[in-house]
Amino acid sequence: MISLYTIIYLNHLNNLIESVIRQDSRIIKTIENALDDLYSLIAADDKYLISGDADYYRQFRQIRNDFAERLQELSGLADTRQKRDLLTDIQKFQSRFDVLLKERKLRAGGQIKPGEKRRNYTNQRKKISRHIDQQLRNLLILSTKDRNRKLQESRDMVAKILTINIVSATLVVFLVIIITYVNARKINLPIKLLQEKTKDIAAGKFEEVMKISSPPEIGELADAFNVMSDRLKELDQIKIDYISYLSHKLRTPLTVIQEASLMLQQGIFAGVPEKQEELFKVIREECERLISSVNRILDFSRMEAGDMYFSFQLAEIYPVIEKSIAKFSPLMQNKKINIVRSIPPDIPPLRMDVERIEEVLENLLGNAWKYTQPGGTITLSAIPNHEKGEIEISVADTGVGIPEDGLRQVFEKFKRVDDRRGAIRGTGLGLAIVRHIINTHGGRIWVASKIGEGSNFTFSLPLSS
């Protein structure tokens, strides 16, 4: 309300100042010019009467026209009845002066001879010019008063606006102090509670904050704090589980390597070359298993740091798919899993990192092999989608499937999905890395699954233009 009040007054003040500039100041300036023209007009007329010089006569006519224009301009600027009445009177005497000029008889030379006629002419002219001068001065006084009145009104208005703003500012400061005091009392307690719970979280105690309903903003902050606490608790548990899982994954092959190396060192099978070769094969396989696990951890670290290396080139997708299938053929045969290919021969070359796409296919095929029961089927298909300008490659299995709530988090890092049959699906690193690789290639990856019917992982790669 104070702002609206101030705006109205400032608008009125602006109108006053504009009126002074455009109206009163112009009137005053025009009156002053008209007075100068009147004096110059009389002087030029006197010079012409005395000398009869045509130049003085032309000067007289020019000044007379200028004076008439000044009066015309003043008629347009007059904004009160009193000013218009003064101008009407001035124009009336100007008309009498024009009649006087027409009545005077000029000789060939142009001047009136000294005598009674000239005295009569000059006396009448003097009376008319004196009246015009007096009326112009009255108009000047009136316009000056109007200007001064408006300026004083403007000063009073500025002082009033200043007073209003000072009073309102004082009121606002007073209200702010009261409101701040009240709000501080309502906010300090919840903030202090949140501060204490933050220290508890820093100490590893992930407990929920008590429900805070007021003020609403602090309540929303408390709700967000509870969500964060739950998430941190979940991540902390995932970290513990992952370290336990990783320890198991590393300890098992290391134990096997240790025992096999010890047997070779002790010469238990010194006379049995076949057994020694078998031990060497076990050591090699476990080393490869360790390297694979470490590489996956390194890939995840590079992915998190945004430093995963890619080497893009134009290459055929068919050999990449066949190479990935060949790596899993012994495992598929051992588990009696049937693998079906559905790959058209006319797929154009794709711009991709061959090794990274192999890693994607191996991860998807490995998961399909792991969760498909013996005698099941894995289908690997590639379908060009020219409308979207991409190729869609899918790995479908007839395994145990993924629960619906697990589909939303299967690609998140450190997310492990329970298949509701007592098995935990991985640690969440493999599919997180797969999604990062596909996104870097400009593609997409998604999954469809039903419990007991299997899963279908599909990713797309852009067709090379």
Indicate the CATH number of 2-169 among 1.10.10, 1.10.3470, 1.20.120, 3.40.50. Answer: 1.20.120
pLDDT for residue 106: 45
Task: Please state, in angstroms and rounded to a whole number, the distance separating the CA atoms of residues 371 and 394.
Answer: 16
CATH 1.10.287.130, domain 231-305, yes or no: yes
pLDDT at 417: 61
Q: What is the pLDDT of residue 416?
A: 59
Residue 134: predicted pLDDT: 92
Cβ(93)–Cβ(132) under 8 Å? yes
| Distance from C-alpha of 274 to C-alpha of 286, rounded to nearest angstrom | 18
Task: Using the structure block, give the residue that is written with the tokens 């702010």.
Answer: 176
The CA distance from 232 to 136, in Å, is 90
How do the pLDDT tens digits run along the chain, 465 residues long? 777 877 887 788 777 787 777 778 888 888 889 899 888 888 888 887 777 777 887 888 898 888 888 888 888 888 888 888 888 898 898 888 888 877 764 443 445 556 667 778 788 888 988 998 998 899 889 888 888 888 888 888 888 888 888 888 888 899 999 988 887 777 777 777 777 777 777 777 766 656 666 677 777 777 777 777 777 777 777 677 667 666 766 777 788 788 878 887 888 777 778 878 888 888 887 787 788 777 767 776 666 666 677 889 999 999 999 999 988 888 888 889 999 998 888 888 999 999 899 989 988 998 899 889 999 999 999 998 888 889 999 999 998 888 887 787 888 776 656 555 544 444 557 888 899 899 999 999 999 998 888 999 999 999 876
Q: How far apart are CA 364 and CA 426, in angstroms?
A: 12
Which pTM value belongs to this model?
0.47
Domain residue spans in the chain? 2-169, 231-305, 313-462
Is the separation of the CB atoms in 38 and 23 below 8 Å? no
CATH number of 313-462: 3.30.565.10
CB 372 within 8 A of CB 398: yes
